[in-house]
Structure 1
Amino acid sequence: MHRYEVQILRSLKEGPKSFWKLLDEQDEHIKGFVERLKALLEAGVVEYSDGKFSLTPLGEERAASLLPRKDVRCPHCQGGYTFSVFSEAFALYHRLVEGRPLPNLDYDQGFMTESDVFSRVAFLYERGDLEGQDILILGDDDLLSLALASTGLPRSITVLEVDRRIVEFITRRSQEHNLGITALEYNAASPYPLKEHAFSVFITDPVESEKGLRITLSRGAQALKRGGALYFGLTTIESSWHKWYNVERMLLEMGFVVTDILRRFSAYPDSDNHFDEEFYDRTMMRRLMDVEFPLPADADWFRSSFIRCEAVEEPRPLVVGEVVFDTDFYLDEETMATPKFV
Structure 2
Amino acid sequence: MGLLPANSTASGSNSDTRMAGCLLIGIPGLEHLHIWLSIPLCTMYVAALAGNGILLCVILSQPSLHEPMYIFLSMLASTDVLLSTSTMPKALANFWLGSSHISFDGCLTQMFFIHFLFVADSAVLLAMAFDRYVAICSPLRYATILTSMVIGKIATATLTRSFIIMFPSIFLLKRLHYCRINIIAHTFCEHMGIARLSCSDISINVWYGLAAALLSTGLDIIFIIISYVHILRAVFRLPSPDARSKALNTCGSHVCVILLFYVPALFSVFAYRFGGRRIPRYVHILLANLYVVIPPMLNPIIYGVRTKQILKGAKEMFSNIIKESK
Instruction: Give the structure with the higher percent strand.
Output: 1
Select the structure of larger CA radius of gyration: 2
Normalised TM-score (structure 2): 0.24
**Greater RCO, 1 or 2 (C-alpha within 8 Å, sep 6+):** 2
Instruction: Give the structure with the higher percent helix.
Output: 2
